[in-house]
Amino acid sequence: MQTRNYETVFITNPMAPEAKVSELKARVNQIIEASKGRVINWDDWGKRKMAYPIRKEHKGHYFCFTYSADNKGVAELERNLRINEDVFRFLTVKLDEKVDPLQAIQAFKTRLEAHAKREKERAERDAERAAQRAQVRRPEEYAPAPGDQGPEDEE
């Protein structure tokens, strides 16, 4: 059987005990090895807020892994994820054959870092501007504005 590279992201219940999650991880590894493939990379994105609640949970524990397997391996893997009660969602994507998976992961990570850096810079800049604005405004607030010195009825 021909093996291909795939990537699967799955979300587990954040309340699930550690042992159950590591058990699932071991299971995944076992399935992939059984289909003559191997896990290329395993990433734990941690518990993060989801864009919308799934099964009344606002947070989810995200895992993302890249691996090679044959089509039966992927089917078996998905079957297991579907059965597992702690798994909220999963998504398997066939990877581009022309791109080296490790390089793609690296590129993704550097892009994430760039986003984080840009956000940090923006936050700093906003804080700086807010401070400047506060400084500029303060003297105006205490000084009486022109034309605001009472009614002009001196005639």
Partner 1 sequence: MSGLPKKNFNRKKACKFCTDKEMAIDYKDYKTLDLFLSERFKIVPRRISGNCAYHQRQLTMAVKRARSLALIGYSPTLE
Binding residues (CB under 8 A) for partner 1: these are: 9, 11, 50-52, 54, 60, 62, 64, 89, 91, 93, 107-108, 111-112, 114-115
* Residue 59, both tokens: 């947070």
Residue 119 C-beta: closest distance to partner 1, Å: 8
Whichever of 119 and 126 has its CB closer to partner 1, that residue is 119
Whichever of 7 and 35 has its CB closer to partner 1, that residue is 7
Whichever of 39 and 54 has its CB closer to partner 1, that residue is 54
Residue 127 C-beta: closest distance to partner 1, Å: 21
Residue 89 C-beta: closest distance to partner 1, Å: 6
Residue 101 C-beta: closest distance to partner 1, Å: 13
Task: Let me know: does 62 contact 87? Beta carbons within 8 Å.
Answer: no
Whichever of 103 and 149 has its CB closer to partner 1, that residue is 103
> The sheet that has 4-12: what strands, in order across it?
38-54, 57-69, 4-12, 87-94
Cα distance between residue 38 and residue 54, in whole Å: 31
**What is the CB neighbour count within 10 angstroms for residue 136?**
9
Phi, psi of 39 (to 5 degrees): -85, 120
Distance between alpha carbon 85 and the CA centroid of its chain, in Å?
Answer: 22
